[in-house]
Structure formats: structure tokens, C-alpha cells
């Protein structure tokens, strides 16, 4: 990976114990940037780009034809916990299409909701694909495939669904994608640069419901759905949900595996992209929180912020042992 810079530090007592390096970019609607690390670094954005993957679902008319509401669209952008509310809503969506869990291609995944996981273990109930954190995204893929009259192998990179996603992805990032990898849910994940990812988030930030193009109107609707349903985008105790709630519906944020985090700031027409080189989630959450604080949209004293940055780290006896801080020169 290209040259990184220190973004986040873990302090124990009066000494830095660990240091996380990476890249971060803030981009406006014109493409102008502020950057730490290398804005040209090529990454897999993983689940941080689910709102881009949902653009063809909305702009094609498939969402309207299927009468999807904002809750459905939030789930299409989600990395949810597989809690009962998430499972029930995706199941209902598929049922309205005359489809079922068996039509999904994301794979079964244990619920990440602690109460539901405990209930299923006690009941000896196996998880299924509805529990997969990407089941809403895949319900969107199925909806688009049906609208296009395409087959059910929607994860194939040459399938019309994935061709439409790649075209939208390259348009909003402003770059041809140099490659793709297969994500945890078996769908293609198209690579882009840090600048491209931040520029895509800025596209969403500047999109308005009355925009001139279907793509921009679709971006505005998807952003609005995420802001209206932070509980569906992730779940209780998760950074995406807690940070969006803390910012009172002003900013949409989305995590991705291996230390990726993005933010969409419609009031400021700004997009943010973060990548932690070692893939650490704790560092990505701290870095995005730090940039949101820097931009004045997140209160540094809010519990959701303190849980990611600046709040005390305690051991099992409740003794304060250290804290996570931004590295000097970042944020």
C-alpha cells in the first residue's frame, strides 16, 4: 500500500502502546481535498460503498416498481446485525417479491445481536442468509435483477446488476476501477483510490431530491433513508448507528471491513473516507469520529464519540488504563 501516516494512537498510562497508520481524505463537491497519507492509494472499500451499490436499484425505477420504502433502502445500504427487526424486514421484502431466503447468495452468518444469538443457541436454531449483514443489499440486487429481467446469479461480475453497479461506481468515484475482489458476501467489490472514495461520498453529500439527474436524485434518496433509519444501517451498540444518532440526522456514516469508514455531510457538501492500513476497526472508528469532531458536526463530549475517541479505556476491574487519541498532526 502507498505511504501512510499515523492517524490513531492507543495510550496506556503515559506511553503510546500502539499506533495505527492509514489514509484519510475529505472531499468537496468540486473534487478539492484535504488529505492525510496518500489520496491516490488504491483500496477495496468493502461495505462502506453499499449506498453506491444501491444506486442502480433506485435510479433504474426498480425500487419504485417494487414499492420499496425508506426502511427497505436503508437495509440495502446496511451492514446490519441480524437482529430480529433486520431479519423480519428483509424477509418481508423478499416475500413481497415472491422470493425467499433461498434466493439470496450472501451465505448464512450468525446473528451479531447478542440476545438473538443467545436465543438461537438455546433453541438450537441455525442461522440463515437473512442473518447475514448484507442480506438487505442482496435483496436489493434481487429486486434489480428482476426489474432488468436478468437471472438470479446476480453476484457474477458479468451479470447486468454488477455491470450497472460498476458503471455507477466509476461515475461517482470519477475513476475507472482497476480491479475487483470478492467480498465476504460473495459480491464483487470494486477498488478505487482514497480520493475516489471521498469524491463519491461528496457526490452523495451534494445530491438533492430535486436534482437534474436520476443518479443524483437516487443518491439523495438513499442518503435520506440512511439518516432516517440509523438503527437499520447497523444496530444497537454499533458505531454507525450511534454516531448517526449523536449527530441528529445531519450526517450519514458507514463502516467497511478492514478499517474503512466513510461519511456523507449534506449540510457541508463534504464526503470523508478513512482507511486504516492494519484493518483495525477501533482505529477507523476513532479516525472518523475525529474528523467529524474537526468539522464541527459531532460533539466530542457525546457518549457515542467518547466510546470511540478520548474516552477512558478501563480494565475488567473498572480501572482506567489508557485512551485512544488522534496522532499528532491528524484531525
Q: If you count them, how many residues does the chain have?
A: 331
Residue 126 lies in a domain: yes
Please answer whether residues 191 and 42 qualify as being in contact, where contact means their C-beta atoms are separated by less than 8 angstroms.
Answer: yes
Q: How would you write the pLDDT of the chain (331 residues) with one tens digit per residue?
A: 579 999 999 999 999 999 999 999 999 999 988 999 999 999 999 999 999 999 999 999 999 999 999 999 999 999 999 999 999 999 999 999 999 999 999 999 999 999 999 999 999 999 999 999 999 999 999 999 999 999 999 999 999 999 999 999 999 999 999 999 999 999 999 999 999 999 999 999 999 999 999 999 999 999 999 999 999 999 999 999 999 999 999 999 999 999 999 999 999 999 999 999 999 999 999 999 999 999 999 999 999 999 999 999 999 999 999 999 999 999 7
CATH code assigned at 124: 3.40.710
**Structure letter (DSSP) for residue 310:** T
Asked if the structure places residue 192 within a domain, the reply is yes
Among all chains, which residue has been given the C-alpha cell 466509476? 170
Q: Does residue 177 form part of some domain?
A: yes
pLDDT value, residue 1: 59
Is the pTM higher than 0.85? yes
Check: CB of residue 129 under 8 Å from CB of residue 145: no
Query: Does 331 reside within a domain?
Result: no
Joined grid coordinates for residue 170: 466509476
Which positions ≥6 away from 163 have C-beta within 8 Å?
Answer: none
Q: What is the dihedral sign for C-alpha 320, 322, 323, 328?
A: positive
Retrieve residue 200's grid coordinates: 463519491
Classify residue 97: in a domain, yes or no.
yes
Report the alpha-carbon distance of residue 129 to residue 87 in Å, rounded: 9
Look-up of cell digits 468537496: 28
Domain that holds residue 100: 5-326
* Separation of alpha carbons 88 and 315, rounded Å: 37
Q: Could you give the number of structural domains in the chain?
A: 1
To which H or E segment does residue 159 belong? none
- Cell representation of residue 165: 453497479
Residues 291, 263 contacting (CB under 8 angstroms): yes
Which residues on neighbouring strands pair with residue 312, listed in sequence order? 323
Sign of the four-CA dihedral 119, 121, 124, 129: positive
201 found inside a domain: yes
Identify whether 240 is part of a domain.
Answer: yes
Rounded to whole angstroms, the maximal C-alpha distance in the chain is: 62
Three-class DSSP category at 110: coil
Instruction: Supply the DSSP string of 249-295, one letter for each residue.
Output: TS-EEEEETTTEEEEEETTTTEEEEEEETT--HHHHHHHHHHHHHHT
In-domain check, residue 54? yes
Amino acid at each position: 500500500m502507498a505511504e501512510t501516516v499515523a492517524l490513531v494512537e492507543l495510550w496506556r498510562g503515559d506511553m503510546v502502546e500502539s499506533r495505527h497508520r492509514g489514509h484519510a481524505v475529505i472531499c468537496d463537491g468540486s473534487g478539492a481535498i484535504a488529505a492525510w497519507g496518500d489520496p491516490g492509494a488504491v483500496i477495496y472499500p468493502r461495505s462502506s460503498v453499499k449506498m453506491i451499490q444501491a444506486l442502480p436499484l433506485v435510479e433504474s425505477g426498480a425500487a419504485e416498481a417494487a414499492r420499496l420504502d425508506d426502511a427497505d433502502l436503508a437495509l440495502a445500504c446496511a451492514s446490519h446485525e441480524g437482529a430480529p427487526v433486520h431479519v423480519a424486514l428483509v424477509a418481508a421484502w423478499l416475500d413481497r417479491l415472491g422470493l425467499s431466503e433461498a434466493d439470496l447468495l450472501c451465505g448464512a452468518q450468525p446473528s451479531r445481536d447478542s440476545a438473538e444469538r443467545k436465543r438461537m443457541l438455546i433453541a438450537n436454531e441455525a442461522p440463515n442468509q437473512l442473518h447475514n449483514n448484507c442480506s438487505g443489499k442482496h435483496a436489493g440486487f434481487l429486486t434489480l435483477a428482476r426489474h432488468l429481467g436478468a437471472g438470479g446469479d446476480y453476484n457474477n461480475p458479468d451479470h447486468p446488476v454488477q455491470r450497472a453497479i460498476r458503471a455507477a461506481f466509476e461515475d461517482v468515484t470519477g475513476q475507472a476501477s482497476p480491479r475487483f475482489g470478492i467480498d465476504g458476501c460473495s459480491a464483487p467489490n470494486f477498488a478505487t483510490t482514497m480520493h475516489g472514495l471521498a469524491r463519491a461520498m461528496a457526490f452523495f453529500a451534494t445530491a438533492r431530491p430535486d436534482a437534474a439527474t436520476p443518479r443524483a436524485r437516487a443518491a439523495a434518496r438513499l442518503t435520506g433513508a440512511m439518516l432516517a433509519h440509523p438503527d437499520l444501517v447497523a444496530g444497537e451498540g454499533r458505531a454507525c448507528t450511534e454516531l448517526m444518532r449523536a449527530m441528529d440526522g445531519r450526517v450519514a456514516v458507514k463502516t467497511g471491513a478492514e478499517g474503512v469508514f466513510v461519511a456523507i455531510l449534506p449540510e457541508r457538501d463534504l464526503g470523508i473516507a478513512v482507511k486504516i492500513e492494519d484493518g483495525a476497526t477501533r482505529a477507523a472508528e476513532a479516525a472518523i469520529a475525529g474528523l467529524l469532531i474537526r468539522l464541527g458536526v459531532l460533539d466530542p463530549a457525546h457518549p457515542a464519540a467518547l466510546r470511540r475517541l478520548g474516552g477512558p479505556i478501563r480494565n475488567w476491574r473498572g480501572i482506567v488504563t489508557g485512551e485512544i487519541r488522534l496522532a499528532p498532526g491528524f484531525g
